Amino acid sequence: MKTVWYYFFKILLKSSLFFMTKKIIVNGKENIPKKGAVLFMVNHPNGLLDPLIVTTNNPRTNYFLTRAASFKKPLVRWFLNSLNLIAIYRIRDGVSQLNKNKGVFEKCFNLLNNHKALMIFPEGSHDKRRSVRRLSKGFTRIVFGAIERNPKLQIQIIPVGITYQNSSTYPFKVSLNYGTPILANDFYKPNLTHSDITRIKDAISDQLKVLSVHIPLNENYEKRVEKLNSANVDFTKVDEVNSMIKSKIIIAKEREANFVKFLRPIVLLNSLIPWLLWKYVKNKITEFEFISTFKFGVGSLTVIPFFLVNSYIICNLFTLQSSIIYFACSILILIIYSKFHSTPAR
């Protein structure tokens, strides 16, 4: 039953993302093993949208490590657990809470030993800056602990890079790149040293810096971002942009013509209540990286139901045929706007 619920929700999310995004470009899917223990290591620029995008474009059933703060309310905890999310505790949750991570690690060991797929965001937090940050070493405790318990267990680590053209706008465009599998067993030793842990972290980090747009976080970071934005580069063309960053030669692009701009007032008017609700919610958001997450959540829960309510009203005021025409046109306009709207770099 849990598997049916998981895949039902996965289809629901994928459908919602279809309307929310201009395009999701997926590369390297062939690198994902069909069977066996897998640890997906993903960079983290955009709140809860990151795991949603990876999961809906991944053939494996995934389990996720998520910050414990999201599990405070009982109903929310039940819902997140039903979708394979596992609470992980951090120092900011209280030093006394860290002991609970022993049980979390035990669960991860068992999942990998049963050849499941686990997803981790090794940077430890989200950050909209276009840079791969230092990886925490918590994941090494998981993979090496699992191997220590079962030396015959083979664990493949797959780095996953996410890059958004503009993470805070609607519709947004995103690139998702799966890297080359790294066999964790090749880095395992009975008595691990700091250099052994550094080696596996570097191997993963090096791939993430290729799989996503990586601008080094130094004194020149803001200037480089400004130049790339001014040049109207397409950040979802990861290889091309990373090449510009390394060579310091930025090739300006002409901004795409926005042929569907005229549809914006129609889309807003036809989604007036969801749009007003979103404006209210937006004022409550304190972290920039969660803007897209809440925008996606509000849109997914309200837009289509709002169309259905309008269709019902039209059906009662006029005819069933007119309500069907209204609903079909509303969906069509939404698709045209989301798929052909020009998304600026930012």
Query: Does residue 253 belong to any structural domain of this protein?
Result: no
Query: Does residue 246 belong to any structural domain of this protein?
Result: no
Residues 267 and 193 in one domain: no
Report which of 165, 223, 182 is spatially closest to residue 23, judged by C-alpha positions: 165
Residues 300 and 188 in one domain: no
Quote the number of domains for the chain: 2
The answer to whether residues 112 and 198 touch, using CB atoms and an 8 Å cutoff, is: no
pLDDT cut 90: percent of the chain above it: 64
- Per-residue pLDDT of 63-94, as tens digits, reads 988 776 666 666 766 767 777 777 776 656 66
The verdict on pTM exceeding 0.95 is no
CATH for 37: 3.40.1130.10
Query: Does residue 293 belong to any structural domain of this protein?
Result: yes
Residues 80 and 165 in one domain: yes
Residues 305 and 187 in one domain: no
Say whether 273 sits in a helix, a strand or coil.
Answer: helix
Q: Which of 81-90, 117-126, 288-297 has the lowest mean pLDDT?
A: 81-90
Which of 183, 210, 237 is the last residue before a domain boundary? 210
> What residue ranges in the chain does DSSP mark as E strands?
21-27, 37-42, 62-67, 85-88, 117-120, 155-164, 172-178, 182-183
Report which of 32, 77, 89, 79 is spatially closest to residue 58, judged by C-alpha positions: 32
- Per-residue pLDDT of 222-281, as tens digits, reads 999 999 999 999 999 999 999 999 998 888 888 888 889 999 999 999 999 999 999 999
Residues 49 and 198 in one domain: yes
Query: Does residue 130 belong to any structural domain of this protein?
Result: yes
Residues 139 and 58 in one domain: yes
Sign of the CA dihedral 175, 181, 187, 190?
positive
Residues 7 and 146 in one domain: yes
- Per-residue pLDDT of 210-223, as tens digits, reads 999 999 999 999 99
Alpha-carbon span 204 to 155, nearest angstrom: 14
The average confidence (pLDDT) of the chain is 89
Query: Does residue 180 belong to any structural domain of this protein?
Result: yes
Residue type, 261: K
Is 60 exceeded by the pLDDT of residue 44?
yes
Tokens of 62: 């995934």
Residues 53 and 127 in one domain: yes
Domain encompassing residue 329:
261-340
Query: Does residue 235 belong to any structural domain of this protein?
Result: no
The answer to whether residues 164 and 173 touch, using CB atoms and an 8 Å cutoff, is: yes
Max alpha carbon distance in the chain (Å)?
A: 76
The answer to whether residues 163 and 233 touch, using CB atoms and an 8 Å cutoff, is: no
Query: Does residue 252 belong to any structural domain of this protein?
Result: no
Alpha-carbon span 179 to 158, nearest angstrom: 6
Residues 43 and 116 in one domain: yes
247-265 residues labelled b (16+ CB within 10 A) or e (exposed): eeeeeeeeeeeeebeebee
Residues 44 and 139 in one domain: yes
Report pLDDT for 124: 81
The answer to whether residues 346 and 128 touch, using CB atoms and an 8 Å cutoff, is: no
Residue type, 224: R
Report which of 202, 193, 188 is spatially closest to residue 132, judged by C-alpha positions: 202
Residues 286 and 169 in one domain: no
Residues 134 and 270 in one domain: no
Query: Does residue 219 belong to any structural domain of this protein?
Result: no
